[in-house]
Structure 1
Amino acid sequence: MHAFSALLDRLIYTRSRNAKLKLIGDYLKVTPDPDRGLAMAALTGDLNIPAVKPAIIRAMVDARVDPVLFRMSRDYVGDTAETVSLIWPDPITPPEGEADLSLSGIIARLAALSRSDAPAVLADLLDRLTPEERFAMLKMATGALRIGVSARLAKTALANAFGLDVDAVEEVWHGLRPPYAELFDWAEGRGDQPTAADVPVFRSFMLAHPLEETRVDMADYAAEWKWDGIRVQMVRVAGQTRLYSRAGDDITHSFPEVAAQFTAEGVLDGELLVKGEAQGGEGGAASFNALQQRLGRKTVSAKMLKDYPAFVRLYDILFDGAEDLRALSWTDRRARLEAFAPGLDPERFDLSLIIEAADFEALEAIRGNARDAAIEGVMLKRRDSAYVTGRRVGLWYKWKRDPLTADCVMMYAQRGSGKRSSFYSDYTFGCWTEAGELLPVGKAYSGFTDEELKSLDRFVRTHTLNRFGPVREVEKTLVLEVAFDSIHESKRHKSGVAMRFPRISRIRTDKPAAEADRIDTLRRMIG
């Protein structure tokens, strides 16, 4: 555990990407199996320890530390794992017996826990570990490392360390399980390269650059709507079907009706949406707010399936059966997709249509008039582009709709986490009802500069009305111009509306709070 905790500590304080790659690579080359494979699982978010939950950790700490002291310390530090690792007292009586404190030993012990056993076992481990090791264990156990290392960076580090192709590693990653013995056997020459022939593995998505000021020739690019769902990859191999999110997470269990109807072998790229007739969408798709009702559910009730029926709007084809089509041009892949799609259930799958535009100016006009709640913007795809991993300049562009804006009044503020733990950086804001009541309509923690953050933090501290733990209620005097991608009806919020991707675009010190927008104004923006 000591080597893994030292790695995390150094990664946290290292900004350089190349330096992080070297740190991880050096660790993997000298660390024995299975510890290095389990470390990779922790770094990539593939480690699952279900018995350890934040609530259990808080209850365990309350039993050993003054709860008031802990909450004050947590409020100051801004991170539960770091606070626990620092405040945990040395045991009055040293723990009895020996314990395997290697990374694999600790993970094996935690993975075998029931929730009732978890507090006692966690306390015993914390008694035996150093503060740095405690921090690493708690972060790892809760699956919340947040150390500036993405799953892709960790896989790149592994590939660099052993002279592998990172795309080849990515290709088979989701078909393997920690501690990835087959992968390290291949890396060190003891075994063959794992293949995806019999396993429905995830392939990295092709991504788009923002269009920004670029203008393209429509003779070279095809245009499609950018639908506001979640990007998914559907894989069927050897009679098995998997649905993967953009991050490579297996979401098959959340959308069983879609997986059950994908019965033709191949790999497709598309947008997961909810049917929109009942919710008012014009393109057969409801807004993202409807899809949110389905996301993250481990089990899906019959009522949920009926009320929020999911389907996939198809964008691209990567494999047709066992044939890899990714090297073909977009034009050729589109023709193959159009030939493949009719063999699928039309209730669950349809094609993303091509936008017919004679030139860029015509496309600009079409985009400007698009008000379907499920449309996020336009995609531009170079007709001769192969399907390649990641973002490649000049191949695909995303051209989002211009954001909507509203003038809102700050109501509450909460401290941030990590580097922002000393600042009130998360702001809840509201708009007025016709009766003059201010109701929350959203929460934002981005869009402002460091200097504006200091100004907002100062306002919160000097205009506080009430304190509720880490939250402060402030005087309703500061107007914030909030930008958001779309707005939808919401039964979960008292205001009846919910914003999509809200962010602070301007601090309106020039505007009286009474002149902020009304909720009725927001309602007119729906759809």
Structure 2
Amino acid sequence: MREFSQLLDGLVYTRSRNAKLKLIGDYLRRVPDPDRGYALAALTGELDLPAVKPAVVRAIAEERVDPVLLHMSRDYVGDMAETLSLLWPKAIDQPADLDDGTLRLANVVERLAGLGRAEAPGALARMLDHLDASGRYALLKLATGALRIGVSARLAKLALAQAFDLDVDAVEEVWHGIGPPYLPLFAWAEGRGAQPTVENVPVFRPFMLAHPLEGIRLSVDEYAAEWKWDGIRVQIVRAGGETRLYSRAGDDITGSFPDVAGAFDRDGAVDGELLVKGEAQGAAAHGGGAASFNALQQRLGRKAVSQKMLSDYPAFVRLYDILIDGSEDLRPLPWSERRARLEHFAATLDPDRFDVSALIDAPCFDALEAIRGGARDAAIEGVMLKRRDSPYIGGRRVGHWYKWKRDPLVADCVLMYAQRGSGKRSSYYSDYTFGCWAEDGELLPVGKAYFGFTDEELLWLDRFVRNNTVQRFGPVREVEKSLVLEIAFDSIHVSRRHKSGLAMRFPRISRIRTDKPAAEADRLEALRRMVTDTT
């Protein structure tokens, strides 16, 4: 565990992307199999130890540490793993580490993976007994899968590719066909084995991504325009008689959407937007039939999907592109040819589950700008512009695809509550709940935001919270209702879960309005007029 704990320490205290790539790469070259494979699985979120969950960690913590002290410390530190690593009591005569290999990373993972829910807590506690604070932190992060150290799955794979001079897209394409501890992958990387093949396996291919359209005017003769839908980007792959759905991050989400997976019965790989059926306001004008993201949220993250959920929130995919048709790789073809192939491919699929995103007919860029400005469909996030001769290339490539998001909505809201952040923000009140005035004069919450402000504004807001606290509820502080925040958000929807009856989509703080009295903040009535659907 020592090598792994040192890696995590280094990553936690390193902000530079290049420095993180070097730390991970050096670790992967230096550490032997299978330890490095399990470490890579932890960094990419592919390691699952089902018998060890956050509730298990809390339970063993409360057995060893005074519960009041534990939870007060957790509120201050902001992270249970860090708190427990510092508070865990240890016998004076206990060795710092075991020397029999028990705490080697691979042994720890395989031991915990082989235990049931009854045995795992005791085994985890005994491991914690023989580690120092850094090792305890690493073990708890590893066991719960909640690393949160500023390393994405893509960054970890890029570090692997750079360390062994591999193409990161080639790594992505075999990733889901191997699995931890990735022995064939490392054998290939070190020249000890052939490049892994994934024939007849529905593997993930890297998505082609777009750059924001900022200060650029494009020719509609060179670029095709289509709507950017507000769902989640997915890739659907069928091979070897099996269909899988992947998120943009490469996570397998097939289990959450069995209705979509079951309907995709033709070998190939397509790129599209996962949506829920509905008749949002204005949807028909844009080839719609999609409900707002608020409806899709009812389906996200569910490992088991009930028949009622399938019936109430039927999912479908609006297709953007085609990567593979049967066994033919279409990615090198220009977009215009792939579009024709996509329309032909989609015509053979279940029309209740799949359709093709409509193109926008605009004679010039000015006309396209006017069309975009008038689109306030709840399911539309903006416009995509795709160069007609562009191949499908993983990642962001300048000049090929652009995303042109619609302008955000804004509202003036009053700060109501604040909570400490986590990780690097654990010492600051950085999570803010804000509200608007109801007709009877009551201030009701309409959203929560924790980004949009600068580091200097964070310091200012933290001071305001500390100096204007009127009540405390554990880690949450209620503040004097005197500060107005201008909130930008993508859309707003009816919500039965919130007392105000409203929920914002992607709220962020765009301005601190010290110039505006709280009494002049927006009313709920003004926000209701911005609602684009009732789904």
Task: Provide Cα deviations, 1:123-150, integer angstroms capped at 9, x if missing partner.
Answer: 1111011111111111111111122222
Aligned partner letter, 1:205: F
Q: How far is the alpha carbon of 1:281 from its aligned partner?
A: 4.7
Of 445, 449, 458, the match for 2:463: 458
Q: How far is the alpha carbon of 1:93 from its aligned partner?
A: 7.1
Are residue 246 (structure 1) and residue 248 (structure 2) matched? yes
Q: Paired residue for 1:300?
A: 305
Q: Which runs of 5+ in 2 are unaligned?
A: none
Number of residue equivalences: 527
Task: Provide the secondary structure at the position in 1 that maps to 2:445.
Answer: strand
Within 5 Å, which residues of 2 pair with 1:434-449? 434-449=439-454
Task: Provide Cα deviations, 1:437-479, integer angstroms capped at 9, x if missing partner.
Answer: 1111100011111221111111111111111111001111111
Q: 1:51 to 1:65 in 2, by over 3 A?
A: same
Q: How far is the alpha carbon of 1:118 from its aligned partner?
A: 2.9
Aligned partner letter, 2:374: N
Aligned counterparts of 1:441 and 1:19: Cα–Cα separation in 2: 40
Are residue 518 (structure 1) and residue 490 (structure 2) matched? no
Q: Could you tell which deviates more after superposition, 118-127 or 242-251?
A: 118-127
Aligned counterparts of 2:202 and 2:331: Cα–Cα separation in 1: 17
Q: Paired residue for 2:367?
A: 362
- Cα pair 1:487 1:499 within 8 Å, conserved: yes
Q: Could you tell which deviates more after superposition, 159-168 or 303-312?
A: 159-168
Task: Provide Cα deviations, 1:402-435, integer angstroms capped at 9, x if missing partner.
Answer: 0001111111000111221111111000111111
Q: Paired residue for 1:159?
A: 161
Q: 1:363 to 1:97 in 2, by over 3 A?
A: closer
Q: How far is the alpha carbon of 1:97 from its aligned partner?
A: 11
Task: Provide the secondary structure at the position in 2 that maps to 1:204.
Answer: coil
Q: Paired residue for 1:467?
A: 472
Task: Provide the secondary structure at the position in 2 that maps to 1:343.
Answer: coil
Of 218, 221, 226, the match for 1:219: 221
Aligned counterparts of 2:329 and 2:9: Cα–Cα separation in 1: 42
Aligned counterparts of 2:451 and 2:102: Cα–Cα separation in 1: 43
Aligned counterparts of 2:241 and 2:68: Cα–Cα separation in 1: 56
Are residue 397 (structure 1) and residue 366 (structure 2) matched? no
Aligned counterparts of 1:279 and 1:50: Cα–Cα separation in 2: 43
Q: 1:462 to 1:226 in 2, by over 3 A?
A: same
Task: Provide the secondary structure at the position in 1 that maps to 2:187.
Answer: helix
Aligned counterparts of 2:21 and 2:513: Cα–Cα separation in 1: 43
Aligned counterparts of 1:279 and 1:101: Cα–Cα separation in 2: 58
Task: Provide the secondary structure at the position in 2 that maps to 1:47.
Answer: coil
Q: Paired residue for 1:80?
A: 80
Give % identity: 74
Q: Paired residue for 2:44?
A: 44
Q: Paired residue for 1:499?
A: 504
Q: How far is the alpha carbon of 1:347 from its aligned partner?
A: 0.4
Q: How far is the alpha carbon of 1:339 from its aligned partner?
A: 1.2
Q: Paired residue for 1:290?
A: 295
Aligned counterparts of 1:485 and 1:126: Cα–Cα separation in 2: 45
Q: How far is the alpha carbon of 1:209 from its aligned partner?
A: 0.7
Q: Could you tell which deviates more after superposition, 228-237 or 106-115?
A: 106-115
Q: 1:270 to 1:363 in 2, by over 3 A?
A: same
Aligned partner letter, 1:197: E
Q: How far is the alpha carbon of 1:349 from its aligned partner?
A: 0.3
Task: Provide Cα deviations, 1:137-194, integer angstroms capped at 9, x if missing partner.
Answer: 1111111112222211211221222222211111110111100111112122232211
Aligned partner letter, 2:318: R
Aligned partner letter, 1:158: L
Task: Provide the secondary structure at the position in 2 that maps to 1:169.
Answer: helix
Q: Paired residue for 1:415?
A: 420
Q: Could you tell which deviates more after superposition, 263-272 or 503-512?
A: 503-512
Task: Provide the secondary structure at the position in 1 that maps to 2:488.
Answer: strand
Task: Provide Cα deviations, 1:366-398, integer angstroms capped at 9, x if missing partner.
Answer: 011111110000000011111001111111111
Q: Could you tell which deviates more after superposition, 194-203 or 181-190?
A: 181-190
Aligned partner letter, 1:455: W
- Cα pair 2:414 2:434 within 8 Å, conserved: yes
Of 133, 143, 146, the match for 2:145: 143
Aligned partner letter, 2:177: G
- Cα pair 2:280 2:379 within 8 Å, conserved: no
Aligned counterparts of 2:509 and 2:118: Cα–Cα separation in 1: 43
Q: Paired residue for 1:23?
A: 23
Q: How far is the alpha carbon of 1:357 from its aligned partner?
A: 0.5
Task: Provide Cα deviations, 1:99-133, integer angstroms capped at 9, x if missing partner.
Answer: 61100111112112322333222211110111111
Aligned counterparts of 1:432 and 1:292: Cα–Cα separation in 2: 27
- Cα pair 2:166 2:189 within 8 Å, conserved: yes
Of 317, 320, 325, the match for 1:320: 325
Aligned counterparts of 1:47 and 1:162: Cα–Cα separation in 2: 22
Q: Paired residue for 2:127?
A: 125
Aligned counterparts of 1:403 and 1:324: Cα–Cα separation in 2: 38
Q: How far is the alpha carbon of 1:92 from its aligned partner?
A: 6.3
Aligned partner letter, 2:13: Y
Task: Provide Cα deviations, 1:289-313, integer angstroms capped at 9, x if missing partner.
Answer: 0000000111111111111000000
Q: How far is the alpha carbon of 1:17 from its aligned partner?
A: 2.6
- Cα pair 2:421 2:427 within 8 Å, conserved: yes
Within 5 Å, which residues of 2 pair with 1:48-197? 48-91=48-91, 94=94, 100-197=102-199
Task: Provide Cα deviations, 1:486-517, integer angstroms capped at 9, x if missing partner.
Answer: 01111111111110000011111121212111
Q: 1:278 to 1:483 in 2, by over 3 A?
A: closer
Aligned counterparts of 1:504 and 1:144: Cα–Cα separation in 2: 27
Aligned counterparts of 1:515 and 1:15: Cα–Cα separation in 2: 41
Q: Paired residue for 1:260?
A: 262
Task: Provide the secondary structure at the position in 2 that maps to 1:422.
Answer: coil
Q: 1:31 to 1:99 in 2, by over 3 A?
A: closer
Q: Paired residue for 2:482?
A: 477
Q: 1:16 to 1:507 in 2, by over 3 A?
A: closer
- Cα pair 2:280 2:292 within 8 Å, conserved: no
Aligned partner letter, 2:33: D
- Cα pair 1:416 1:424 within 8 Å, conserved: yes
Task: Provide the secondary structure at the position in 2 that maps to 1:365.
Answer: helix
Q: How far is the alpha carbon of 1:196 from its aligned partner?
A: 2.5
Task: Provide the secondary structure at the position in 2 that maps to 1:155.
Answer: helix
Task: Provide the secondary structure at the position in 1 that maps to 2:347.
Answer: helix
- Cα pair 1:86 1:131 within 8 Å, conserved: yes
Aligned counterparts of 1:351 and 1:248: Cα–Cα separation in 2: 22
- Cα pair 1:281 1:287 within 8 Å, conserved: no
Task: Provide Cα deviations, 1:275-328, integer angstroms capped at 9, x if missing partner.
Answer: 013898541000000000000111111111111000000000001111101011
Q: Paired residue for 1:425?
A: 430
